[in-house]
Amino acid sequence: MGESMELDFICGQEIDAQKATEQGLTSMYDGCTYVFCSRECKQEFDRNPSAYANLDMGDSDGGEDLYTY
Ligand SMILES: [Zn+2]
């Protein structure tokens, strides 16, 4: 109940966000918190956050502006 499952962007598995937070397996990037299953995954993300953080943004130079300011 009230569990918050988040996706580990590195290995793709679902993890309990609360447990990850308690274990310090989180990283802040671009205003979002990313959670990881292990230190290895967190370190991999920290090494190159932009490569992973952009995965779900559909970010490209295609010309369509997804943002409305
Ligand atoms: Zn992982």
C-alpha–C-alpha distance, residues 29 and 57, integer Å: 14
Q: Is residue 67 part of a domain?
A: no
Q: Domain residues for 22?
A: 5-53
Structure tokens at 27: 């990283």
Q: Is residue 9 part of a domain?
A: yes
Ligand 1 mean position, distance from CA 59 (Å): 23
pTM reported for the whole predicted model: 0.71
Residue 16 binned pLDDT confidence (cut-offs 50, 70, 90): very high
Q: Is residue 39 part of a domain?
A: yes
What residues are neighbours of ligand 1 (ion), with CB under 5 Å?
8, 10-11, 37, 41
Ligand 1 mean position, distance from CA 11 (Å): 4
- For 23-38, write each residue's pLDDT tens digit: 999 999 989 899 999 9
Whether 18 shows a pLDDT value over 90: the answer reads: yes
Q: Is residue 30 part of a domain?
A: yes
The residues that bridge with 36 in the sheet, in sequence order, are: none
The domain tally of the chain equals: 1
Ligand 1 mean position, distance from CA 26 (Å): 11
Ligand 1 mean position, distance from CA 28 (Å): 16
The residues that bridge with 34 in the sheet, in sequence order, are: 27
